[in-house]
Chain A
């Protein structure tokens, strides 16, 4: 079942509309979002207005995608939430606390992986914990668990240049999960990965999302990808970005991954979003 909400009622919990196929969304009953975006605007020096008065709520335990045309400022919004970029106006609340910079309750997966080329997979995956001063044996045990969870068991002592793009991004994901943050942000994580690898990765991501029960914020420019992995999609308009539409998605996520891609709701939603976006392209 697909529900479209007007942009104003963004605070609705994702499980308010249970689907026919049972609850694919991890239990997230709290009506207040874990991440609140309040009146965020961003104007870059030189007068480029990237974001214009965006207000949003990200529900806990769900995967929310920010979807929009290229250059619409979705990555900027994600980096503002991460505390990497300061907004021109507005504020971000994470778990009720105002964001002034990065924090341990948030982790980030980078578009270009951002791995240290001189460090092994194990050290890269454990790096967040290393920075927090966690003892070596302890952090490596945690990292090994997540390296296995992302499907890289046996590659612990390889270096990034020995891995394919998809495998490197799995290391980036293991690093983001290993710090046990409440909110995992992913900035177009699959854009530098080839198509076949991407599909496998998307399927694995769904499994991890269900297992980890964390809140995921996901930036993508691919409609199919957003519909496939998300519990809800925030559709952003072209620059200066505003929230155009919020789409709740409730597809059966526990069964055969290919069933989702053939599901009528999946296909309808992709078509629906495309119809809404196509006038930007034409």
Chain B
């Protein structure tokens, strides 16, 4: 963007909003919004504590485990749904229900079954992430060029060969989009799971901060979580563009 002949860097708007935040915070308009500078100081302070790193550890572990399950189960299921009409008929209604359902409402059910531990958080992550992974893998598989499927048959591909050498790679752009969207939902899942369980990880920290009205701490945590989500999205977007290049010409 150009203003008065000067090129404005892409992230400049962040600086503007940071300044606005600082002004609002210093004006003492509300107790809910502390100045940005104080929040950042608090962030550095929190970053030195053991409970913060414990929370980061739990988050990373449950996020990785839940995402792995969502991808390793979701991609094959999606591909199979795209290739086997019977399976598609059986599963598609459920996938569609779950992708639009308010999943947070299900977390207490999981909690009731699996208790207040990390298992519940992992399952919450899976529950949030897996549906979009399935749907996109399915869409990618359905968009495989019919002649590529015929080619596999003509040259004698077994079911496994067709699956591993043609379908997965052919559907890769959509699969990766699904994984990216799935991982973003997984970030929501890992946070919401912890908040609802509220005795481990960031959930516990938020519980302590909010019950003690520690707004600076709250905002500091929010910055960490938003930054994390943004980082994951950027990373996945970059990988996706590289793969798109290779799979770009479909015919």
Contact = CB atoms under 8 A, between A and B. Distances in A.
Contact of B154 (A82, A116, A130, A159): A82
A130 B247 CA distance: 20
Interface string B237-251: 000000000111111
Contacts of A102: 153-156
Contact of B151 (A101, A110, A117): A110
Contacts of A118: 169, 172, 246-247
Nearest to A104: B156
A254 B134 CA distance: 57
Interface in B220-251: 246-251
A112 interface: yes
A78 B246 CA distance: 32
A26 interface: no
A100 interface: no
Interface stretch (B23-31, B142-150, B187-195): B142-150
Which of B153, B155, B166, B247 has most chain A Cβ within 10 Å?
B155
Contacts of B96: none
Contacts of B155: 102, 107, 127-128, 131, 175, 179
Interface string B162-203: 000110011010000000000000000000000000000000
A278 interface: no
A112 B251 contact: yes
A111 B153 CA distance: 16
Contact of B147 (A83, A111, A128): A111
A114 B156 contact: no
A279 interface: no
B161 interface: yes
B157 interface: yes
A161 B248 contact: yes
Interface string A102-128: 111011101111101110000000011
Given A107-B155, A131-B155, A131-B161, A84 B150 contact: yes
Nearest to A185: B154
Contacts of B251: 112-113
A128 B154 CA distance: 9
Interface string A167-191: 0000000010001000000000000
Which one of B154, B170, B250 has the greatest number of beta carbons of chain A within 10 Å? B154
A112 B144 CA distance: 13
B250 A117 contact: yes
Contacts of A101: 153
Given A110-B147, A111-B147, A112-B145, A117 B154 contact: no
Contact of A116 (B150, B153, B169): B169
B142 to A, nearest CB: 17
A33 interface: no
Nearest to A82: B154
Contacts of A97: none
A79 B248 CA distance: 28
A159 B246 CA distance: 9
Interface string A123-150: 0000110111000000000000000000
Contacts of A132: 156
A101 B154 CA distance: 8
Contacts of B165: 130-131
A68 interface: no
Interface in B88-147: 145, 147
Nearest to A192: B251
- Looking at A110, A118, A131, A132, which has the most chain B CB atoms within 10 Å of its CB? A131
A273 B232 CA distance: 65
Contacts of B150: 79, 84, 108, 110, 114
A160 interface: yes
Given A131-B152, A132-B156, 18 more contacts: A84-B154, A101-B153, A102-B155, A102-B156, A108-B150, A108-B154, A110-B147, A112-B147, A114-B148, A114-B150, A117-B248, A118-B172, A127-B155, A128-B155, A128-B156, A131-B155, A161-B249, A179-B155
28 contacts: A79-B150, A83-B154, A84-B154, A102-B153, A104-B156, A107-B154, A108-B151, A110-B150, A112-B145, A113-B147, A113-B251, A114-B147, A114-B148, A114-B150, A114-B151, A116-B169, A116-B170, A117-B246, A117-B250, A118-B172, A118-B246, A127-B155, A130-B165, A131-B152, A131-B157, A132-B156, A161-B249, A175-B155
The 3 lowest CB-CB distance pairs between A and B, nearest first, are A161-B249, A114-B151, A114-B147
